[in-house]
């Protein structure tokens, strides 16, 4: 596949769900996907398959995570902080 789904969550500084914009950037910093979390803090987006990506809340890019996507949909194990 050329893209895969990724699901995760975003919380605020008090660990409450946050409806924030999340972005995925390639290793060269190029924006490859974005999504907005719902009121429950959950986001879903399609990202390139088999690539190293930085997933971050737009409001707190330093608190993001770097992941290697595979060939199947994935769910992030922890929440991003926004």
Q: Each residue of 5-17: pLDDT tens digit? A: 999 999 999 999 9
- Give me the chain's average pLDDT, please: 96
pLDDT at 61 over 90: no
The C-alpha atoms of residue 37 and residue 21 are separated, in whole angstroms, by: 6
pTM score, two decimals?
A: 0.92
Q: How far apart are CA 27 and CA 29, in angstroms?
A: 5
Reported as a single tens digit per residue, the pLDDT across 40-54 is 999 999 999 999 999
Percent of the chain with pLDDT over 70: 100
CA distances from 65 to 1, 78 (A): 23, 10
CB atoms within 10 A of CB 47: 19
Q: What pLDDT does residue 55 have?
A: 97
């Amino acid at each position: 596949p050329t893209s895969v789904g990724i699901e995760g969550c975003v919380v605020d500084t008090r660990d409450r769900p946050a409806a924030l914009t999340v972005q995925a950037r390639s290793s060269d910093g190029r924006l490859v996907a974005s999504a907005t979390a719902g009121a429950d803090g959950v986001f879903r987006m399609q990202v390139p398959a088999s690539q190293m990506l930085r997933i971050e809340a737009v409001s707190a890019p330093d608190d993001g995570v770097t992941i290697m996507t595979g060939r199947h949909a994935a769910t992030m194990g922890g929440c991003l902080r926004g």
